Amino acid sequence: MKRQYLFSVPLVFTWLLTGFVHAAEVLSLEQAVARAQEIDPWLQQSVLLEQSQKAESEFVSALPDPVVSVGVANLPLDSFDFSQEAMTQAKIGVAQMFPRGATLRLREEKLQRMSQQEPFKREDRKQKVKVTVTHLWLEAFRAAKSIQLIEKDRSLFEHLVDVAQSSYSTAMANTKQQDLVRAQLELTRLEDRLFRLHQHQDEKKARLKEWLSAGEVGVTGEVFKLTDQLPEIAVSQNYKSVSATSENSNLLAHYIQQHPVLMGLDTQIEASSTDIELARQAYKPQWGINAGYGYRDTDPTGQDRADFFSVGVSFDMPIFSRSKKSKKVKAAQTKTESIKTQKALQLRQLVSGFESAQAKLQRMEQRKTLYSARLLKEMHEQAEASLTAYTNDDGDFSEVVRARIAELNAHIDALNIDVDRLKTIAELNYFLAGAEAVNYAGEHDEKN
């Protein structure tokens, strides 16, 4: 029994280890974005809302149910004899009311237009989720890569501390006590920097898990790793055309006008305009028709009596409530104008955001070229020259430390430029989301 128990321990340990390795899967940026878009509950909510509005539009256009009446008229109270009086009759009638003007058609049209907003809202939501998840993934990657860079240089700083201690203890070179303290201080500051980077990485990963969790059971409790290589995010194919043409403002306006958020507001304006027409229907009368049949019994002598048939039309006259109806129309018009104003503000924000991101990307491309072509190389040469001078008793130890820290910071700055550049490209692609829709529609029309 004891031998069996000892045999099972390695199996359990192996199973746990296998589960942990499986849980720590590598998560690429594309996988993170695809999963976040796939399980986003907001998108499912939008689909259900669209289905609800479409279903509602199918029954709001139906006429109200007819009203059926059944009764006995003119029954004598002295005898309750149905055949005693000629006016006594059994009546059955039906009445049907018709809504004012084109109310039914307009109600259906309004709900259909409201449902047409949802696909645009979903597309805008997908693009926003893509930007958000991309930012979080890149921030976590930035922290992880910064940690790797610092860990790589920490051994060098530890070696510098050892060299300073050795030189100071043997009274060699130009090492002073303050140099030893400075080297140890920089090593301690690197430790603090690592703590802050680990904290930043944990925060971004926790926020990223929020988008990757499908309810209570998801990847929230799982461990994942990011890819080691910085991904490449392709800028929208329309960005170059917008940047190159002399009429870029007109082309940009054309593209942004097709942005999902603006297209959604267009359908909202159309639905609100339908509200205006609905309010105007209140000025029109409401019509109704009714028909009835009256059955009479034979007279006391046994002769048949003629039955009765009646038909009529009813309508109301909206005269005294005209002031109230005018205010309702005015309210609907004001609401439509407010949505148009909202669209104008949104358009301004999209154009401003694009131009800001465009200028930011251009400067980052220049800095990226500067760092890769000159700055990193010059920083490394300076650090090597400082170390060589100190080794030959012709330099200051503090200068060696400063040069190494400057080189480390330069590599981290280069990483920050690469990460911020990709974040900016993701933002630019969001602003040009409408351009992709325009190109797709054009290609589709050409094929047809």
- Cα–Cα nearest to 158, from 197, 190, 193: 190
Contacts of 34 (CB under 8 A, 6+ apart): none
pLDDT at 218: 44
State the average pLDDT over residues 389-401.
Answer: 79
Res 4 pLDDT > 50? no
Of the pLDDT bands very low, low, confident and very high (cuts 50, 70, 90), residue 235 is confident
pLDDT for 174: 54
Distances (CA, A) of 121 to 44, 46, 430, 433: 12, 8, 13, 12
CA distance 37 to 123: 10
**Cα 30 to Cα 38: distance, rounded to the nearest angstrom:** 12
b/e code 62-79 from CB counts within 10 Å (16+ = b): eeeeeeeeeeeeebeeee
**Domain assignment of residue 274, given as a range:** 28-447
Does position 16 have pLDDT exceeding 50, yes or no? Answer: no
Q: Given this model, what pLDDT does residue 95 score?
A: 95
CA distances from residue 336 to 266, 329, 340 in whole angstroms, order as listed: 11, 11, 6
Q: How confident is the model at residue 438 (pLDDT cuts 50, 70, 90)?
A: very low
Summary mean pLDDT of the chain: 83
Q: Is the pLDDT of residue 17 over 60?
A: no
The confidence score (pLDDT) of residue 225 equals: 86
Q: What gap in Å lies between CA 100 and CA 359, rounded to an integer? A: 56
Residue 397 belongs to a domain with what CATH number? Answer: 1.20.1600.10
CA neighbor of 212 nearest in space, from 41, 383, 6, 423: 41
Please, which residues have CB within 8 angstroms of residue 134's CB and are 6 or more apart in sequence? 29, 33, 233, 422, 423, 426
Which pLDDT band, with edges at 50, 70 and 90, does 382 fall under?
very high
Which pLDDT band holds residue 24 (cuts at 50, 70, 90)?
low
Phi and psi, residue 79, nearest 5°: -130, -15
Q: What pLDDT is stored for residue 217 in this prediction?
A: 46
Give residues with Cβ within 8 angstroms of 401, minimum separation 6.
157, 160, 179, 182, 183, 186
Q: What is the mean pLDDT of residues 158-179?
A: 66
Mean pLDDT of 38-64: 90
Please state the rounded mean pLDDT for residues 50-76. 89
Q: Mean pLDDT, to the nearest integer, of 326-333?
A: 90
**Sign (positive or negative) of CA dihedral 414, 417, 422, 423:** positive
What would the pLDDT profile of 188-224 be if each residue is shown by its tens digit?
A: 888 999 999 999 999 999 999 999 987 654 444 456 7
Residue 156 has pLDDT above 90, yes or no: no
Residue 79 C-beta-side C-alpha neighbours within 13 Å: 6
Distance CA 226, CA 223 (A): 10
Amino acid at 207: R
Running DSSP on this structure, what letter comes out for residue 312?
Answer: E
Q: What percent of the chain has pLDDT over 90?
A: 48
| pLDDT the model gives residue 248 | 64
What would the pLDDT profile of 119-155 be if each residue is shown by its tens digit?
A: 999 999 999 999 999 999 999 999 999 999 999 888 7
Contacts of residue 259, defined as CB under 8 A and 6 or more positions apart, other chains included, come to 124, 350, 431, 433, 434
What is the pLDDT averaged over residues 34-38?
94
User: pLDDT at residue 413 above 90?
Assistant: yes
Q: Which residue has the higher pLDDT, 228 or 218?
A: 228
Q: Is the pLDDT of residue 440 over 60?
A: no
Q: Is 10 domain-assigned? A: no
Model confidence at 253: pLDDT above 70? yes
Tell me: pLDDT of 19 over 50: no
Average pLDDT over residues 96-118: 90
In a domain, 164, yes or no: yes
Average pLDDT, integer, range 240-244: 67
Q: What is the pLDDT of residue 195?
A: 95
Total number of domains in the chain? 1
SS3 40: coil
Lowest mean pLDDT among 212-221, 369-378, 394-403: 212-221
Is 252 part of a structural domain of the chain?
yes
